[in-house]
Amino acid sequence: MRITRVLSATALMFGLAVAPAVADSSPSPSASEDSGAPSQAGTSFRTAAEFEQGQTATASASTGDYLYWSFPADAGQRPTVKATVKLPDTHAAETWQIDVYDGLRRRQACQYGAQTRTAPANAASVELDCVLRTVRAWSEPWADDPLPGTYYIRLTVVDVPTSDLGLPVGAEVRADSKDVGGAAAVDGSLAEPLVPGVAVKSREDEESSSASAVLSSIEPEDGWASGWWSDRWVWTAIGGALAALAGVGGYTLTRGSGRPTRVPPGA
């Protein structure tokens, strides 16, 4: 009976601990594509058009232009960037490329995806995609790991005949993330996310200045997590509960009835 009560209590603890993790792992609804997504792109890092994850940003441009967008990515997320270029009716073979940079303007490698693709002559469109590495909450200064902050997308044609330069094209880009969670958690966090100008803003806030020098105004919907919480804490608690259960169960099974056996005199 005592073991049954211990098992019931541990099962209740397990259910309460797993519930938050399951809730956190459920995908959040995507933002509406019409809720403020930009309809034009920037021409440099400083003028990159900002959009939120889950939105589809669009732009009209000319073949040969450099198009820039930016979006926020937080610790534990694995961003996927997709781009579609709608080409003119008549054109030669063209090679398009999408590059992603972090808040320090370091080019981030794609884990997989068609980062560069050649569209055959007269093709209607070309699609590109890049799956980044998981964003870490903290990293060594010499490392090139993705860190929380602003990420930049650059879309351009890298191989095109001179006769096709200047032809009108349409572009669509979208960024979505998979929440990796505790599997990518690290012991550490950044003082500030890698958002251009955030350090200047923090200093001005301390000086009670009304001016804002932040070059990027976007951030995740729930704010920057900076790696302070992950489901690793949940599974650590579950492991501790199971270890306690094993200890109590082993003690109960091995101690017997607790009454010493009487030995008859003279035996």
Domain at 86, CATH number = 2.60.120
260 lies in some domain:
no
> If DSSP states are collapsed to H, E and C, what string results for 200-227?
HHHHHHHCCCCCCCCCCCCCCCCCCCCC
238 lies in some domain:
no
d(CA 234, CA 76): 15
Q: What is the pLDDT of residues 142-153, one digit of tens each?
A: 888 888 999 999
d(CA 45, CA 53): 18
Q: What is the pLDDT of residue 138?
A: 80
Pairwise pLDDT comparison (258 vs 245), residue with the higher score:
245
40 lies in some domain:
yes
Band the pLDDT of 267: cuts 50, 70, 90. low
122 lies in some domain:
yes
Band the pLDDT of 213: cuts 50, 70, 90. very low
**What value does the mean pLDDT take over residues 19-28?**
40
Q: What is the pLDDT of residue 250?
A: 78
Range of the domain at 159: 30-180
Q: What is the pLDDT of residues 101-136, one digit of tens each?
A: 998 899 999 999 999 999 999 999 999 999 999 998
d(CA 156, CA 115): 11
251: helix, coil or strand?
helix
264 lies in some domain:
no
237 lies in some domain:
no
| Radius of gyration of the chain from its Cα atoms, rounded to whole angstroms | 27
Q: Is the dihedral of CA 159, 161, 163, 164 positive or negative?
A: negative
229 lies in some domain:
no
Pairwise pLDDT comparison (125 vs 24), residue with the higher score:
125
User: Domain count of the chain?
Assistant: 1
d(CA 123, CA 110): 25
267 lies in some domain:
no
How many residues are present in the chain? 267
Q: What is the pLDDT of residues 229-241, one digit of tens each?
A: 556 556 567 777 8
